[in-house]
Amino acid sequence: MGGRLVDGKWVSKDHWESDTSGGFKRQESAFRGAVERAEAGRFHLYVSHACPWAHRTLIVRTLLGLEDAISWSTVHPLMLDDGWVFAPDDADYPSDDPIHGERFLRDLYVRADPTFTGRVTVPMLWDKQTDTLVNNESAEIIRMLATDFAPLGTTGAVLYPEPLRARIDAAMDRFYNPINNGVYRCGFARTEAAYRAAHDELFAALDEWDAALQGQQYICGDALTIADVALFTTLIRFDPVYFVHFKTSKKHIYEYPHLWAFVRRMYALPGVAETVHFDHIRTHYFASHRQLNPRGFVPDGPDMGALLRA
Ligand SMILES: N[C@@H](CCC(=O)N[C@@H](CS)C(=O)NCC(=O)O)C(=O)O
C-alpha cells in the first residue's frame, strides 16, 4: 500500500516498482544534501520505529550520545493509502509532527519541494533553521552523524574512524543488496524466479557474515562502527517479520550462532534496546502491506524478548 508524489500531488496506489523480470526495484533517495554546520538543537530526525533504515539513524544518535543535540519523532506504524501519517490522537501509537503539526509525512516533502516527484520515505534529516529536508538517505545520514555531529555527542564514540572507512564502506556496500535490500527483494518479488534469486543471494550472504563473525565481535573486527548498526536493523526484524512476511524462510537468524550472538551483542549496548519497538515493527509490516497480507492481521511470532534475554 502507499503511494507517491507526482509534481507535488499525492497519487495513492500500490506502487512497488519492479524490473522486467519481476524483481523489486528500489528508488534512489532524492534529497542528498549535507549539513552546513552541525549545531545542537537545529536538526530533527523524522523516523518510523518500524523502518530498518530509519532505525539506523536513531541507534547512531544514541551510541554517539546526541540525545540533547538532535530531536526526533516517529510516524504512525500503519502505512496505507496516505503513506506515512501522524496520528496524535491514536491510543496505541500517538505520533505527531512537532515542527509543523502536519498530518501526512508527504506534506513535509511538499514543503521542501512543492513539485517533488517520488516516494515519501523515512528517515528524513530536517533542518529547523532553513526549514527544509536536508537528506533522506540513511546511509548518508548515519555517516553525517558519525562525522559532522559526533563532536556534539556525549559518549565520545568513534563509529566511522578514518582508518576503517574504506572497510566500513565496502562492508556496507557488500551486504546492502543481498541482505538489507535483499529481504525486500524476496518479499516484493513479482515472479518466483526473482524471489528464488533474491532468497539464494540473501542466505549465501548470511552464511558468509555468520562465518566472518565467528572470530570477531563486529563487522570490521573489534571496533563497533556504523556498519554494525546498518546490518543490525535488518537482522533484528528478520525472525519476527521477514521470515514469514517476506518468505525469507530458509533459516531464522537465531539459528545462526555468530549472527545471533552479534544481534544480542548489539541489542545489549547501552540505549539500543530502547530504540527497538517490536509493536511498531510487526504492526507496520503485517498490517500495511495488504498486497502480501490482505487481511492485515499480525501473526504470532517468536518471543523476541525471551530469545534476546536467553
Ligand atoms: N534508501 C532509503 C530507503 C528508505 C525507505 O525505503 N524507507 C521506507 C520505510 S522502511 C519508506 O519510507 N517507504 C515508504 C514508501 O516507499 O512509500 C534509506 O536507506 O534511507
Q: What is the pLDDT along the chain (310 residues), one digit of tens a residue?
A: 789 999 999 998 766 678 888 899 999 999 999 998 999 999 999 999 999 999 999 999 999 999 999 999 999 999 999 999 999 999 999 999 999 999 999 999 999 999 999 999 999 999 999 999 999 999 999 999 999 999 999 999 999 999 999 999 999 999 999 999 999 999 999 999 999 999 999 999 999 999 999 999 999 999 999 999 999 999 999 999 999 999 999 999 999 999 999 999 999 999 999 999 999 999 999 999 999 999 999 999 899 999 999 8
Atom 13 of ligand 1: nearest residue by CA position: 121
Per-domain residue ranges for the chain?
3-152, 162-273+303-309
51 classed as catalytic: yes
Residue 18: strand, helix, or coil = strand
Long-range (24+ apart) CB contacts under 8 A made by 57-61 are: 57/123, 57/125, 57/138, 57/141, 57/142, 57/145, 58/275, 59/229, 59/232, 59/233, 59/272, 59/275, 60/142, 60/145, 60/146, 60/159, 60/226, 60/229, 61/145
- Ligand 1 proximity of 153 Cβ (cutoff 6 Å): no
Catalytic residue among 93, 160, 184, 285: 184
Give Cα separations from 8 to 88, 114, 118, 160 (angstroms): 24, 5, 9, 36
Q: Could you write out the DSSP letters of every residue in 125-165?
A: EEETTTTEEEE--HHHHHHHIIIIIGGG-SS---SS-GGGH
Judge if the beta carbon of residue 242 lies within 6 A of ligand 1. Answer: no
CATH class, domain 162-273+303-309, is: mainly alpha
233 Cβ below 6 A of ligand 1: no
State whether residue 201 is helix, strand or coil.
Answer: helix
Distance from Cα 122 to the centre of ligand 1, integer Å: 5
State pTM to two decimals.
0.97
| 122 in contact with ligand 1, CB cutoff 6 A | yes
Q: Which three cell numbers stand for residue 200?
A: 539464494
CATH of domain 3-152: 3.40.30.10
Atom of ligand 1 nearest to the CA of 137: 20
Q: Is the CB of 123 within 6 Å of ligand 1?
A: yes
For residue 118, list its beta bridge partners.
Answer: 5
> What is the whole-number distance in angstroms between the Cα of residue 310 and the centre of ligand 1?
32
